[in-house]
Amino acid sequence: MDSDRTAPDPTALDPTALDPADLHLIRDSLAWVRGADTDGVLAGLVPALTERERAEMAAHCALAHVAALVFPASIDALTAGLRAEGLTVGKAVPSTVVRARLGRRYGVPPESLDVSILHAGLPGAGDGARTVEVFALELPPGSPLDGIATRERAERNESHVALDVLAPNTVVLSGLRALLGGRGGLVPDGGGHNRHEDCTVLYFRSAGEAGPAGRAQPPRYRRLEIRARGHHPLALTAHREATAPEPAKRLLELMTGAWTTQAIAVAAELDVLDHLPVGRGAQPRPLPVARVAARVGADPRGLARLLRHLAAVGLVAPAGESYVATEMGALLRQDAHPSLRPLALLYGGPFYDSFGALAHSVRTGEESFAALFGKGHFDYLTEHPRLARLFDAAMAASAAMFAPIPWLFDFRGARVVVDVAGGNGHLLGRILEHMPHVRGVLFERPDVLTAARQQWPDTSRAHRCAFVAGDFLEAVPEGGDVYLLSRVLHDWDDDRALTILRSCAASMADGAALLIVERLLPTDGSTSLAVSWDLHMMCNVGGRERTAAEYERLLAAAGFTLDTVHDLPLDGSLLCARRGDARPDTGL
């Protein structure tokens, strides 16, 4: 039978049953669901997917319904209007999910929102029957909730398209979640199990509204519902864990991040984690909080509140009436290898103060550290030896970044490795340890070398290292086969960074290697510690993080060729360059 001749006309709804905006929305939904297909839905809502990916997903899913939220004066009038169109309308049932979402969104008690669901059946074309899921919040004239209707009609937050998973299981649902939330770029947006229908639902949302040109897509729909018959707790748990919190809650979490910085710093200052065993079931049994407070010199109630916050962010875990350190929290212990305690003290100390003056850096482009403390970061450290030792220890705490380097670069042909501004020489020490034939040169300021010598044990590695004092802005030692610049260039602006590179180039023979360790700013929108560290460098030393392309341009301007870039732990990167095969420029 030709369905076009028998299907009801969706434009014939009784206009007295609904507000014109709601009437328009339902008509659009009815018209769209009749002609839509699964591939069109995916092309519109998930434009990042390739045609092949859409086809593979469509093999597992079928279009189920389109949903919309409307605000009739009467549920009875809405029901009558839908039935007058020849639609099969089921009995209105309460909606707990949409009611709860509206309550959170508008800060009103959910029980004050009487939201119903009506399923309107519509004969479909091609791939089976389609339905329109109508969420209805009854708003009689003069309702105090009219503001909700105004905003929802504009934003259509509850409008979505639903796909049924044809043969759901854990593997299929995991693959769909990975594709939609990974390559597809959708954001997990909650879900649940409807025990009345025995159906697991997973919601996603998209920030975009438009799909590729010429593609049919629902009007302004930005949410996708994946429906899987049965109860699938593993998929549901993973989806809920990945679901982003509501915007206001997430913003509050971000705004109060400084509280966590201080909580961690105070825990480090008091050595709280040193008095807690690591892991559940650890021995000895954890001391009561009052006993820990006595040992660290804290108020028992104050420490209990601190530990509760640390538990909320995952550094400790409750154990009876006390706490144990988690694997992450154990990194704050003094016996951890490496211990991140020095970093916690720095980030909660002078760097916390300088970051509090971020507005100065943003407005002027100048480092806030100098404005706050009267001189630049490195000059200030020279005058404050205790803080300088803490800084050196903090730099060593990130040494896990160096672990793969002896295997990422071929040092077999090298005789001398020069570590320029290498701090305590941790990276150079790793290389000498793995390459017994190599000799090293640690090139640093005199005060830094004094502290570095004390940290090198009397081993063959120490006897193969020369400690040379100097200023890399003027010259660096000659005669090296490999030169290291580890977390140096990001301390400086482009002009100074180029000066350092040219200083190195002047002392290097053609073909000598230059290894640079830095965090690279992403260019594909991915997350990276480099983005936050870029602000950190602006505030504290006046430097900046850079992209790989920006480093390549700096290197070329100094007479280097960038050969390879390797990933390192802690979002670090190893850039391997060589002297020569590039035309030195007079500038960038």
C-alpha distances in Å from residue 22, one per residue of 71, 116, 152, 548: 7, 15, 10, 51
Q: Are 376 and 384 in contact (CB under 8 A)?
A: no
- 164: β partners: 62, 227
Q: Are 239 and 188 in contact (CB under 8 A)?
A: yes
Q: What b/e readout covers 482-517, taking b as 16+ CB neighbours within 10 angstroms? A: bbbbbbbbbbbebeebbebbbbbbebbeeebbbbbb
Q: What is the DSSP string of 473-524?
A: TT---S--SEEEEES-GGGS-HHHHHHHHHHHHHHS-TT-EEEEEEEBPPSS
CA trace torsion 5, 6, 10, 13 (10° rounding): 130
Strand order from edge to edge, sheet including 465-469: 465-469, 439-444, 416-420, 482-486, 513-519, 572-579, 560-568
3-state secondary structure 66-82: EEEEECCCCHHHHHHHH
| Six token digits for residue 143 | 């309702």
Alpha-carbon torsion (339, 341, 344, 346), positive or negative: negative
Q: Are 46 and 185 in contact (CB under 8 A)?
A: yes
Helices (H) and strands (E) in the chain, counts: 26, 18
- At 191, the amino acid letter reads G
Question: Which residue is associated with the tokens 């120490």?
Answer: 462
Peptide bond before 284: cis, by omega within 30 degrees of 0? yes
Report the C-alpha gap between 464 and 421 in whole angstroms: 18
Which residue, 581, 587, 468, is CA-closest to 514?
581
Q: Are 18 and 80 in contact (CB under 8 A)?
A: no
Report the C-alpha gap between 139 and 72 in whole angstroms: 6
First-to-last CA distance in the chain? 72
128: left (phi over 0), alpha (psi -120 to 50) or beta: left
Peptide bond before 338: cis, by omega within 30 degrees of 0? yes
Contacts with 171 (C-beta within 8 Å, 6 or more apart), sequence order: none
Residues labelled catalytic: 490
